[in-house]
């Protein structure tokens, strides 16, 4: 009897090993917070990092200079058989993408990170969707060709130096904004039209290095 069991074990050992591996495999492939992956959409391959595996949310991170032309960001990306919602454009994500001409940001995005588009010299206009609540420090810093920005109705904070040294000609601050950071619109020599929407509550302005003409408009 023992010999028969021994022979059976030898004959079926490879199958048992395979079954064990298959049992363990899904757990090993399961994604986790911080995992990174690439995803291609509309001909552009970008890198994503999982913010929350439980909530299935991701952030774009670090193409750094490698993206060009007209970019459309997806609201949903796929990885390992699961769908993830893009909620953040991460720190330095498009830093120094000098050939980036335009960017379409989906309504799923809620935050634009530090220096996300800094030094994108060919970027001329940007529309921030209503879903975005925060624009990080240096987010569009030194985008020397940027002449037009439309801020969505959900923006609450605009970080320090967010639009410093851009070529903006005008900007309208929506009623949702409660903080404009230090020098957020500093060194914008073409900025002649600065409007704050009626109903803006408790707006804190720390724009100390902006042109005097902006202070005059803000105080009215």
More reliable by pLDDT, 115 or 204:
115
Q: Do both 25 and 43 map to the same domain?
A: no
pLDDT tier at 7 (50, 70, 90 boundaries)?
Answer: low
pTM as predicted: 0.81
pLDDT tier at 173 (50, 70, 90 boundaries)?
Answer: very high
Query: How many CB atoms are closer than 10 A to CB 59?
Result: 21
- What's the rounded Cα separation, in Å, for the pair 158 and 181? 6
Range of the domain at 18: 1-30
Q: 59-73, 77-91, 137-151: which range is least confident on average? A: 59-73
Indicate whether 73 pLDDT > 60: yes
pLDDT in tens, 40-70: 999 889 999 999 999 999 999 877 778 989 9
Q: Do both 151 and 163 map to the same domain?
A: yes
Q: Return all residues near 78 (Cβ < 8 A) that are at least 6 apart.
A: 39, 84
pLDDT in tens, 97-132: 999 999 999 999 999 999 999 999 999 999 999 999
- What's the rounded Cα separation, in Å, for the pair 95 and 115? 6
- What's the rounded Cα separation, in Å, for the pair 180 and 183? 8
- What's the rounded Cα separation, in Å, for the pair 50 and 117? 20
- What's the rounded Cα separation, in Å, for the pair 88 and 127? 15
The answer to whether residues 148 and 168 touch, using CB atoms and an 8 Å cutoff, is yes
- What's the rounded Cα separation, in Å, for the pair 110 and 116? 13
Q: Do both 21 and 84 map to the same domain?
A: no
More reliable by pLDDT, 139 or 195:
139
Q: Do both 48 and 74 map to the same domain?
A: yes
- What's the rounded Cα separation, in Å, for the pair 165 and 141? 6
Q: Do both 9 and 97 map to the same domain?
A: no
Q: Do both 112 and 169 map to the same domain?
A: yes
Q: Return all residues near 187 (Cβ < 8 A) that are at least 6 apart.
A: 164, 165, 209
Number of domain units in the chain: 2
Q: Do both 182 and 211 map to the same domain?
A: yes
């Amino acid at each position: 009897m023992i010999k028969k069991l021994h022979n059976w074990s030898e004959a079926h050992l490879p199958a048992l090993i395979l079954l064990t591996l298959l049992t363990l495999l899904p757990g090993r492939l399961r994604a986790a917070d911080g995992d990174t992956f690439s995803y291609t959409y509309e001909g552009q391959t970008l890198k994503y990092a999982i913010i929350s595996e439980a909530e299935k949310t991701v952030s774009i991170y670090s193409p750094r200079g490698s993206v060009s032309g007209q970019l459309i960001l997806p609201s949903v990306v796929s990885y390992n058989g699961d769908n993830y919602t893009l909620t953040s454009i991460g720190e330095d994500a498009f830093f120094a993408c000098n050939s980036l001409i335009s960017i379409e940001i989906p309504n799923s995005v809620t935050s634009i990170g530090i220096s996300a588009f800094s030094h994108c010299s060919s970027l001329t206009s940007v529309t921030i969707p209503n879903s975005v609540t925060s624009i990080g420090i240096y987010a569009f810093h030194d985008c020397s060709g940027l002449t037009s920005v439309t801020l969505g109705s959900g923006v609450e904070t605009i970080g320090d130096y967010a639009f410093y040294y851009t070529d903006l000609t005008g900007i309208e601050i929506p009623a949702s904004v409660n903080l404009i950071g230090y020098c957020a619109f500093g060194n914008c020599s073409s900025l002649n039209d600065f409007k704050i929407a009626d109903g803006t509550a408790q707006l804190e302005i720390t724009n100390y290095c902006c042109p005097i003409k902006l202070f005059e408009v803000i105080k009215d």
